[in-house]
Structure 1
Amino acid sequence: RVLRAVQVIVDEKLANPILIGRPAVIEHRIERFGLRLRGGVDFTVVNPENDPRFRDYSETYFKMMARQGITPQYAKLEMRRRTTLIGAMLLSKGEADGMVCGTVSTTAAHLRYIDQVLGGTNEVYAAMNGLVLPGRQIFLVDTHVNVDPTACQLAEITIMAAEELKRFGIEPKVALVSHSNFGTSEAPSARKMRDTLAILRERAPELEVDGEMHGDSALDPKLREQLVPDGTLIGEANLLVCPNIDAANIAYNLLKVAAGNNVAIGPILLGVKAPVHILTPSATVRRIVNMTALVVVDAAA
């Protein structure tokens, strides 16, 4: 999938791809899949087994991590076996403009090295997924990073996600979704969503947001108006903020499959200082291409 995506990226002139992997394996797979890619012409290869830059990279990584139990020997080992770490170092050194990773392993495993080398713009990272459905666009957070975020973290995640939607040219309409519908439950997760709303009212008073509410209330403004005529969310919500990773991830994957052949966007990694996104092992060729295009826009900005 990655190499097929690279072929599309090259054909559409989206970017100059840098592949991190063993050259012999890459060439074998290009031949096996009948692709037209030419190493050194259509893409550049960073060989994790042998690159003259790795001495500098491992020394830099050791300096970053010396107070976190990393020895010089371990830094060298990590630099030759962790492709995401190599990619993050390429960005740190200014030798790449962005990175897409994650088709193998877990979000947490990739985020570890991204955080170590590149760092964040806020105190929390988050992942946002989007779906282009018939008649509507829906984005959900946090689908992959925070297992059970606090109200303060959810408020920060909401603000980051809303800013990302604005960069897409979409005016964010935020619903804080829950099993509780405007005070029908006093469960901890319901109170957390109400606390999130209170924090957002203070920190982002211009944001169109309301909650806590059921999923159908978020997408059906007539139903919502019957419940709360003085609500502060107008029309259909396009950004659903979930109380935990279970709710967000399950909702996204159910919608993605039930909606059929519609466009899935993401995961979009929020809160990193560089244009980086962590995909999932289920990412299609088109999603890899779409996320590469997003990275290009991020880097240009």
Structure 2
Amino acid sequence: VKLVCSGAGAAALACLDLLVSLGIKRENVWVSDIAGVVYAGRKEEMDENKLRYAQKTEARTLADIIGGADIFLGLSAARVLKPELLKTMSAKPLILALANPEPEIMPDVAKAARPDAVIATGRSDFPNQVNNVLCFPFIFRGALDVGATTINEAMKLATVRALADLANAEQSDIVAAAYGIEDVKFGAEYLIPKPFDPRLIVNIAPAVARAAMDSGVATRPIADFDAYHQRLLQFVYHSGLLMKPIFQAAKDSPRRIVFAEGEDERVLRAVQVVVDEGLAKPILVGRPAVIAQRIERFGLRLKPGANFEMINPADDPRYRAYWTEYHRLMERRGITQQLAKIEMRRRLTLIGAMMIHLGDADGMLCGTYGTHDSHRRYIEQVLGLRRGAKTCAAMNAVILPDRTLFIADTYVNADPTAEQIAEITLLAAEEIRRFGITPKVALLSHSSFGSSAHPQAQKMQSAVQLINAMEPELEVDGEMHGDAALSADVRDRVFPNSRLKGDANLLIMPTLDAANISFNLLKAAAGSGLTLGPILLGVAKPAHILTPSATVRRIVNMTALTVVDANVERQRALV
């Protein structure tokens, strides 16, 4: 490989040293600067650093040395590389024109002269932006975390290799959304990760830290890199701390989770993360050809049979067993044999529920399109309620800067009775404990500890009494205002004898309207869209209904939660 560099300042020489460390032969490196070719015996504008790249040659200009070059590295000035010079380079040349704000040659000019060229610049308005923001923050993160005494060559090489690995990985959903792209994968238009890629910190910082330790410059070696990786994830995903015990439990015992909308882009990207993290054994419902096409389109590494199982609604050997069982369950509720056959071909959530019912899967996620009711119908028909439960409900979590709040019932019961509210509270409290959190429950109302005789207020008062009788150890109180629930100081002024100590983390609302509106307001106004759920409570087996706005990260989080739910005995009585 022949490399020609325009520029011989500190940045250019540092880049050349790194490239030589990566394997480019020094004798194949040619350098030109403001005074011309760096050649042996040159006196003008020379120093010891340039001397190591001086060539024995009669060439004196960039034009004299660029012929046959495979790589052009520009760290000099605008318009140095002329189109006619570009034409003398070898086939498929790599052009790294990094001068700012105008590069040595503009990408469109370079493409016109050499359509086969692969081009990178420092500009964000063209593909392949080379920007030091891709590495500097994360090099320093890794170096500081191990107390490195210097930034050495090993640490820089580790950064390069981490960036290269990330460039070859599938595109991040966050990057796809930020840049309005969806089918980018490693190639001429995507040589280097984008600055918005959230995986940069979790890939580069550990690589740098490990290199510092291996090269002997770390004063505070990291003993547990898995724990370090999890800490870094919390910088990227604020849900990391909340989900930590759930992720660990899922990894310890992954289960078969069916994704009803297996063709959806977000689902496929989430499944890639699930496979990489070892959280679950995915089953995708969808057309094999469509899934394969989209895996290729999104640059994912998923392999059917190896990474996931597939069920084709149009052609699966279990079809007869599924529709027969569905007809048996529903024949006295208006489902004929013919309708059972039709439904089992077209209702993806029904297929997933039947897989769980017949033991072919352990849990399900659905709901990336459609309404909550339209999916819950099939879950209730096939899976039913757990023993002792008389209702199901939905709970969401919103992750705020200073706390995490769980809210119920956000999707199911429009105006629950006192008995239903008591049951929903117990189901929600049980689920919260899976996160390693002690539930502190407030039943909310427009009334504050008996200040109103309105039926809605009386309903919440009755629910508190029922809960206290059913689970006396649960820390719960109400009915109360929202500010009293979230501030012990406010509550103590209003009702100093409350059983609830500290701030509530589970808010039980009097109606679906109150719960859904509160959740969405908090999510938009204070939660930066960081949420978990909806978590479907009260169902006999784990099946959760997402929302059309679900992100990849939320799907990953809910997958882990579904695995944990699948490992818990759900058929025990509530009390």
Q: TM-score range by the shorter chain?
A: over 0.9
Matched letter for residue 436 of structure 2: G
Does residue 227 (structure 1) correspond to residue 494 (structure 2)? The answer is yes
Matched letter for residue 109 of structure 1: S
Contact residue 285 and residue 310 of structure 2 kept, 8 A: yes
- What's 1:179 paired with? 446
SS in 1 for 2:291: helix
SS in 2 for 1:174: strand
Aligned residue pairs total 301
- What's 2:538 paired with? 271
- What's 2:290 paired with? 25
Matched letter for residue 235 of structure 1: G
- What's 2:4 paired with? none
- What's 1:201 paired with? 468
How far is 1:188 from its partner?
Answer: 2.0
For residues 469 and 567 of structure 2, the distance between their equivalents in structure 1, rounded to whole angstroms, comes to: 32
For residues 378 and 529 of structure 2, the distance between their equivalents in structure 1, rounded to whole angstroms, comes to: 32
Per-residue CA deviation, residues 148-177 of structure 1 (Å, 9 max, x unaligned), is 111110000001111111222111111001
- What's 1:255 paired with? 522
- What's 2:317 paired with? 52
Does residue 106 (structure 1) correspond to residue 371 (structure 2)? The answer is yes
For residues 251 and 262 of structure 1, the distance between their equivalents in structure 2, rounded to whole angstroms, comes to: 13
How far is 1:31 from its partner?
Answer: 2.0
Per-residue CA deviation, residues 230-286 of structure 1 (Å, 9 max, x unaligned), is 111111001000001111011111111222446411111111111211111111100
Contact residue 99 and residue 275 of structure 1 kept, 8 A: yes
Contact residue 133 and residue 262 of structure 1 kept, 8 A: no
- Over alpha carbons, which structure has the higher Rg? 2
- What's 2:429 paired with? 162
Contact residue 219 and residue 236 of structure 1 kept, 8 A: yes
For residues 70 and 57 of structure 1, the distance between their equivalents in structure 2, rounded to whole angstroms, comes to: 14
Task: Give unmatched runs, 5+ long, in structure 2.
Answer: 1-265, 569-575
- What's 1:81 paired with? 346
How far is 1:131 from its partner?
Answer: 2.0
- What's 2:551 paired with? 284
- What's 2:420 paired with? 153
- What's 2:331 paired with? 66
Contact residue 19 and residue 44 of structure 1 kept, 8 A: yes
Contact residue 138 and residue 240 of structure 1 kept, 8 A: yes
For residues 195 and 149 of structure 1, the distance between their equivalents in structure 2, rounded to whole angstroms, comes to: 12
* TM value normalised by structure 2: 0.51
How far is 1:129 from its partner?
Answer: 0.7
Contact residue 141 and residue 242 of structure 1 kept, 8 A: yes
User: Kindly, what percent of the aligned residue pairs are identical?
Assistant: 62
Matched letter for residue 333 of structure 2: Q
Matched letter for residue 553 of structure 2: R
Matched letter for residue 38 of structure 1: K
Contact residue 488 and residue 501 of structure 2 kept, 8 A: yes
Matched letter for residue 51 of structure 1: D
- What's 2:356 paired with? 91
Pick from 115, 118, 136: which aligns with 2:383? 118
SS in 1 for 2:411: coil
How far is 1:41 from its partner?
Answer: 2.0
- What's 1:210 paired with? 477
- What's 1:10 paired with? 275
For residues 519 and 456 of structure 2, the distance between their equivalents in structure 1, rounded to whole angstroms, comes to: 19
How far is 1:287 from its partner?
Answer: 0.3
SS in 1 for 2:335: coil
- What's 1:245 paired with? 512
- What's 1:130 paired with? 397
- What's 1:189 paired with? 456
For residues 237 and 193 of structure 1, the distance between their equivalents in structure 2, rounded to whole angstroms, comes to: 16
Matched letter for residue 290 of structure 1: N
Contact residue 398 and residue 527 of structure 2 kept, 8 A: no
Contact residue 173 and residue 236 of structure 1 kept, 8 A: yes
For residues 480 and 527 of structure 2, the distance between their equivalents in structure 1, rounded to whole angstroms, comes to: 26
How far is 1:218 from its partner?
Answer: 0.2
For residues 178 and 71 of structure 1, the distance between their equivalents in structure 2, rounded to whole angstroms, comes to: 45
Q: Over the residues paired in the alignment, what is the CA RMSD in angstroms?
A: 1.2
How far is 1:180 from its partner?
Answer: 1.4
SS in 1 for 2:269: helix
Per-residue CA deviation, residues 181-207 of structure 1 (Å, 9 max, x unaligned), is 222222221111111112112222221
Task: Give unmatched runs, 5+ long, in structure 1.
Answer: none
For residues 514 and 492 of structure 2, the distance between their equivalents in structure 1, rounded to whole angstroms, comes to: 24
For residues 96 and 199 of structure 1, the distance between their equivalents in structure 2, rounded to whole angstroms, comes to: 36
Contact residue 400 and residue 527 of structure 2 kept, 8 A: no
For residues 417 and 457 of structure 2, the distance between their equivalents in structure 1, rounded to whole angstroms, comes to: 12
Per-residue CA deviation, residues 206-244 of structure 1 (Å, 9 max, x unaligned), is 211111111100001011111111111111001000001
* TM value normalised by structure 1: 0.97
